[in-house]
Every structure is written in structure tokens, then in C-alpha cells.
Amino acid sequence: MSRVIELEIKEKKFKNESLSSLENFKLEVNEGEKIAIIGESGVGKSTLLNIIGLLDGDFSGEYNIFGLSRKEMCDKELASFRNNKIGFVLQESALIDTLSIEENIKLPLCYADNEQKQFTLQDFEKITKAIRIENILKKKPLGCSGGERARAVLARGLIMKPKIILADEPTASLDEDNKERIVELLFKMNKKYNTTIITVTHDLEVAKRHDRIIKLERR
């Protein structure tokens, strides 16, 4: 089993103060693991997810992902790495209002090389049907409910068949039926493609279904 994440945060400044929960924080994740991150609001869960996802490099420490050092990557390399290796299902991952739901979901393919475009029409139809958004594909985001937009963000995060999926409260705005569909879809990706799943959640029942739970606490 290969190591995909080796992260050591010595210090992370947040709003001019050190984020105590991420001081001297270490995380190692193996390929195909399912990790849940829990903790009270404001403790740094989403910040940690942004660091793992190469969106936030403003910390002191070391981060190796797939054996590569973050410090040695230029901005272009970081952007390419995020698009091809990491799938984001983030609360703040806004959909583009001028594009349809289908166009939003397929947007990552615009930045992929031809040989990387492995996501077929059949796969697209399977995912949109599995999370019940096939009837809103031609709608614009503003014409959809919050739950529908959340499911569209999930589909966009999966479209590149990423090696790592980072999910920030992916079931927060969903009813029990759709929550179960999304969890099952994430875990199916994990099983079929050995995708590493890292989920921030307040739902302890969802957290317990992961291989490991990491709790962030203020010190």
C-alpha cells in the first residue's frame, strides 16, 4: 500500500492568530484509505482540507503528495495537479451561474489532456442518475435547490476520476435518502478505483463508515 499524503504542519496562521489545532499537526494517508475529519466549527477542518488540496500553502512545514514536494511545484504544476489528481466537493465550490448544470459538471474536462479524458458519456449518465440530477442538467444553478446544487458539485468533483477526493460536508444539505446515495457513490469510487477519500463532516454516523477518524481539537 503506497503512501499518498505526508503532511507536517508546524504552524498555520489564521486571522493573525496561530490555529492551535493545526500546530505540530501530522497526517499520513495511504492510497485507498477513507479518512473522516471531525471537530467543532471553526477548529480548522476546512483549512486542513484546503492545505491537503493544494489550495492553501500559507503554512510552515512540509507536504509531500504522491511523493512530490509541494514546495517544488510552480503555480502551473499545482493547478494541473489539482485538476487531474484531486476531486473537490467543497461547500464554497460555487457553480458558474451562466452555465447549465451539465456544463458545470463537465467543466474540468476543458482543462484535461485528451488521454486524460476517461470519463465517458455512459459514466456521466450513471452518476447523474445515481444522485438523481438527470432532470436538472439543462437548468442553471440559480434555478435549482440547494440540495440539487450540492449534488451537482459532487458530480463535478468525480468527473476526472481523481486519485483523491476531498469532501467538505458533502451531505450537510441533503435528506436521508440523498445523503445515503452520495455516501454510497463516494465509497463505490473508493472500491472501484482505489480512490483515497478524505471527508470533513459533523455527521458521526457518516464519519464512522470511514476507515479512520481524525478529530481536531483546540489546544
Q: Give residue 126's pLDDT.
A: 85
Mean pLDDT confidence for 204-213: 96
Phi and psi (nearest 5°) for 111?
Answer: -105, 10
Sequence-separated (6 or more) residues with CB below 8 Å from residue 196: 4, 5, 29, 30, 31, 32, 33, 34, 35, 163, 164, 165, 190
Give the separation between CA 193 and CA 190, rounded to whole angstroms.
6
CATH number of 3-216: 3.40.50.300
In this predicted structure, the answer to whether residue 199 has a pLDDT above a threshold of 90 is: yes
In this predicted structure, the answer to whether residue 211 has a pLDDT above a threshold of 80 is: yes
* CA-CA-CA-CA torsion sign (55, 58, 61, 62): positive
Q: What is the mean pLDDT of the chain?
A: 88
> For the segment 105-155, what is each residue's pLDDT rounded down to a tens digit?
988 877 766 555 555 667 788 889 888 899 999 999 999 988 888 889 999
Q: How is the chain split into domains, by residue range?
A: 3-216
Q: Give residue 92's pLDDT.
A: 58
Count CB neighbours of 195 within 10 A. 22
> For the segment 54-97, what is each residue's pLDDT rounded down to a tens digit?
999 999 999 999 999 999 999 999 988 888 899 998 765 679 99
Residue 198 contacts residue 53 (beta carbons within 8 Å) = no
Q: Are strands 25-30 and 34-38 parallel, antiparallel or unpaired?
A: unpaired
